[in-house]
Amino acid sequence: MTCSVRVASDADRQSWDDFHRSAATLHHAFDWGWRSIIRDTFGHKPLYFIATDDSGQVQAAAPVFHVKSFLFGSALISVPYLNAGGIISKTDDAAEAVERAIDEKAKELGVDYVELRCRKVEPLLEGRYSPRSHKVAMELQLTADPEEQFKTFPAKLRSQIRRPTKSGLYVKVAPADQNYSEDFKGFYSVFAENMRDLGTPVYPKSLFSRTLKHFGKRAQIITVWQEQRPLAAGITLQDRGHVEIPWASSLRKANKLSPNMLLYWESIKAACQAGADVFDFGRSSPDSGTFRFKKQWGAEPVELCWYYHQEMKKIPDINPNNPRFNAVVACWKRLPIPVANAIGPWITKAIP
């Protein structure tokens, strides 16, 4: 079977989404909506490659963006800002055709590197691409009953989850297809302050508002409050049986109240109630503090294989722990929040 490969246009949205929903790969990163969300938020050009057979049926697809970063150069990335990407396909021939098209586009544009954020080893990429397994996704298998899920946790963890409510903290879970304006304000205020405290530029509000608008009832904002003050917050996104919490934060000054424990439990509980099979805590570096935090819930590491084209320049080390950024991180932590919120969104365009 021969396949023709092209860059998808707006007219391909329905066929793309139908193909994504029929694919075995479960992750929201392959949703067509990111094409406009990332383009309109960060200005990166989407190049959504699609392979069709002689009858016009989609056989393979790859969501790719041309990212131009003043920090890390020009690149083709699938998918920037997200924890998944690469090629989904029905056949090896179709996947190879898409991979060749990506390579040809990379040469045409003269990019510095190509990055495919796969969630497993891809034999078809071995040889032409170099794998880098420096991160893992932490996934928790879910039961249908939240109460049964709660019983699977160690006694110490269950006690930590109960502690915040005994201190008067409460939770709000807001589906994004309803009125969530107060919850959104609470989320962003917590997220922005925590990013500043970590020494990391914050994403623009528009990234989250566009994401929530597109995903609708497949997205939820979970916030933990003390009276009228938000202490922890996160956003979850669902793709069929897979729920991920790609963005979550809590205020350091509220650590003694353990709002983070309540945040994650309510997120897991909501995922169970939504019929999900897997709760994805997002990516972590092995044996890091966040890795151990997620591990205590029973989550197991899933090695992420990010592939880089062998002909490219040195792989960029986009990591706040990179010694190159130590001074910048230290300075950023001292910025007033309004200043960090004003500058951060501009810088994140260059940090995919």
pLDDT at 304: 95
Identical topology for domains 4-136+305-316 and 143-276:
yes
Distance CA 11, CA 84 (A): 24
Torsion sign over Cα 187, 188, 189, 193: positive
pLDDT at 322: 67
Q: At what angle do helices 181-198 and 205-215 cross, to 10 degrees?
A: 140
Break the chain into its structural domains and give their ranges. Answer: 4-136+305-316, 143-276
Q: Which of 2-6, 200-204, 250-254, 334-338 comes out lowest in average pLDDT? A: 2-6
pTM, rounded to two decimals: 0.94
Domain 143-276, architecture per CATH: 3-Layer(aba) Sandwich (3.40)
> How large is the average pLDDT for residues 147-174?
96
Q: Give long-range contacts, CB 8 A cutoff, 24+ apart: 148-154.
A: 149/268, 149/269, 149/272, 150/265, 150/269, 152/298, 153/297, 153/298, 154/296
Distance CA 137, CA 165 (A): 29
| Strongest mean pLDDT among 130-139, 229-238, 327-336 | 229-238
Q: Give the count of alpha carbons within 13 A of 345, CB side only.
A: 18
Distance CA 97, CA 93 (A): 6
Domain 4-136+305-316, architecture per CATH: 3-Layer(aba) Sandwich (3.40)
> How large is the average pLDDT for residues 282-292?
94
Distance CA 223, CA 66 (A): 34
pLDDT band for 320, please (50, 70, 90 cuts): low
Share of the chain above pLDDT 70, in %: 96
